[in-house]
Amino acid sequence: MLFLLLGGIGLFLLGMILLTDGLKSFAGDSLRLALLRFTGRPVTAFCSGATVTAMVQSSSATTLATIGFVSAGLITFPQAIGVIIGASLGTTSTGWIVSTVGLKFSVGMLALPLTGIGAFMRLLGRGRMASLGLALAGFGLIFIGIDTLQEGMRAFSERFDLGRIPASGFWGHLLLLLVGAAMTVVMQSSSAAVATTLAALHTGAIGFEQAASLVIGQAIGTTVTAMLAAIGATVAAKRTAVAHVLFNLLTGLIALLLLPFFLWMIVGLSERTGTEPGAVALAAFHTSFIALGVLIFLPLVKPFSRLVEKIVPERGSSLTQYLDASLNTLPSVALEAVRNCLREVSLLECRRLILILQHKGRERWESDRVITADAVNRARIFLSRVPMAPGEEESSGPRVSLFHLLDHIGSWMALQIPLTPRPDIQQDPLYQELIGKVIETLHQGESVLAENGRGESVAALQTLAESVKDLRQNARQEILDALSRKQRIPEASMQLLDYLRMLDSATYHLSRIVHYLNQTEFSEK
């Protein structure tokens, strides 16, 4: 009996793991890109989270990916909340599969050859074909596990009367809720816990009211994965985990308070159809109370996100908030985290240079210099520790571009532009013409970096940088010609040439920084 129960749960869990891993490998980056592409508004983020979770049959996979994305700065925190809410609803699809197919029909004879075919595809196939075989084998194991669970539950119900567990009253429901949460924590899968409950209900080991309370607890227990993933992570990741916990916890408590109403409605429908509430009714109940939570929280995503931000406030430098060591399991996302960090550094450095050239805010730019230098050093260390992704070449474009980016930022920050040029230099027409164009270029760069711009805005920046270069070269020739005719003072002219060269270098490095930022952007490759 115990062996059958443990074996059934183990087969189901193994099947879920193989199915999830197989589908993720088969889809490649397309699932992650789908999450990113359809997270513009809370509603689209919700739909994206629900769809991807239903496809991979794992809310934990979606949650962990979302935590990675928000840690890397790929999506905003309110968007992440939408995805998390969608994942909570998407995971209820497992209950429908188990109740409508796994328990209604004897699929053991079909599941065994499906598992065998999948195993051969995994062993003999390559690439996506092998991944598809892994998913098929996992799908077959899920139903074999369900069959084994049913047998174990029948034997268990013959020896132990689970009906003695209190099913009515607030405290009885609360006790079963805690048992359900513990089941999810122990199994590390709400899907496996729900499948076990469905099998127990189907075999008559427990009643519908008991099963409903267990399912509520199992929905709450699934937040443990998110909490574990957030340990030692960035503030953004911790906020996402807290949002996940609050949504599931509050939704579960609402479901617990409204459980008598849900039961009255389900019993009424069952009496009309002349059937007893069974596994399908339990799957419908699971979806219904999660959907109720969606209806309550989805319109309130922004105020909800502000509440979570107060619970988990920002600490430390915002420049390095994306550099989360846990992202190393997703190398492409980790590289994007470095990119976002360096974009923020470049924006701050651009504003610092504008203040220097306008002789403003000395205290501010001096403190900014320390912060940006520390952030660049942290980004360099973080990048060196990001592992190579499977199939990634050592000369990977994004990775090499990031090192180019670090080099240009380092050279940019090393420019020793004088704080206050000599009065005669400041009054020189060549200096005044060039400094005006340089400040215009820096403002354009500030706009591009702040808005993560592409296309025309980047082209405009490149044009301005080229015009600075042309002005500097023309000014250089004019100064040298004047020196040859002894129309300029040599010492002042040499200082002016050095100053103009540094200004030209500043705009050159800025244009290259923007160029490499665009080359490293997370794209549909």
Domains of the chain listed by start with CATH number: 2-311 (no CATH), 323-519 (1.20.58)
pTM, two decimal places: 0.67
Token output for 298:
């989805």
Closest to 520 (Cα-Cα) out of 382, 408, 402 = 402
Burial class (CB in 10 A: 0-12, 13-18, 19+), 399: buried
Q: Give the Cα separation of 241 and 224 in Å (integer).
A: 9
**Local structure of 485: helix, strand or coil:** coil
Q: Give the Cα separation of 290 and 287 in Å (integer).
A: 5
Predicted local distance difference test score (pLDDT) of residue 406: 92
Helices and strands: H and E segment counts in the chain:
23, 0
Predicted local distance difference test score (pLDDT) of residue 525: 39
What DSSP designation does 102 have?
I
The angle that helices 331-357 and 59-72 make with each other, rounded to 10 degrees, is 20
b/e burial code for range 113-143 (CB count within 10 A of at least 16 → b): ebbeebbebbeeeeeeebbbbbbbbbbbbbb
Say which amino acid occupies 96.
Answer: W
- Tell me if 218 sits within 8 A of 56, measured CB to CB: no
Q: Give the Cα separation of 36 and 29 in Å (integer).
A: 11
What DSSP designation does 394 have?
T
What DSSP designation does 387 have?
P
- Tell me if 44 sits within 8 A of 4, measured CB to CB: no
Q: Give the Cα separation of 63 and 225 in Å (integer).
A: 9
Say which amino acid occupies 490.
Answer: P
Query: Would you write out the chain's pLDDT as a tens digit for each of its 525 residues?
Result: 677 778 877 887 787 678 767 766 665 556 566 666 666 677 888 888 888 888 766 676 677 677 777 777 777 888 888 888 998 898 888 888 888 876 555 555 667 788 888 888 888 887 778 888 887 888 788 777 777 766 776 665 556 555 566 656 777 888 888 888 888 877 767 777 888 888 888 877 788 888 888 899 988 887 776 677 667 667 777 888 889 889 999 999 998 888 888 888 887 887 777 667 788 888 888 999 999 999 999 899 889 989 998 888 876 667 777 777 767 777 877 888 888 889 989 998 888 888 888 877 566 666 677 788 888 888 899 888 888 766 566 546 788 889 999 999 988 888 877 666 777 777 888 888 888 899 999 999 999 888 876 667 888 888 999 999 999 899 889 889 888 888 888 888 888 888 889 889 999 999 999 988 887 665 443
- Tell me if 98 sits within 8 A of 198, measured CB to CB: yes
Q: What is the DSSP string of 355-366?
A: HHHTT--HHHHH
Q: Give the Cα separation of 81 and 240 in Å (integer).
A: 7
- Tell me if 213 sits within 8 A of 171, measured CB to CB: no
Predicted local distance difference test score (pLDDT) of residue 250: 92
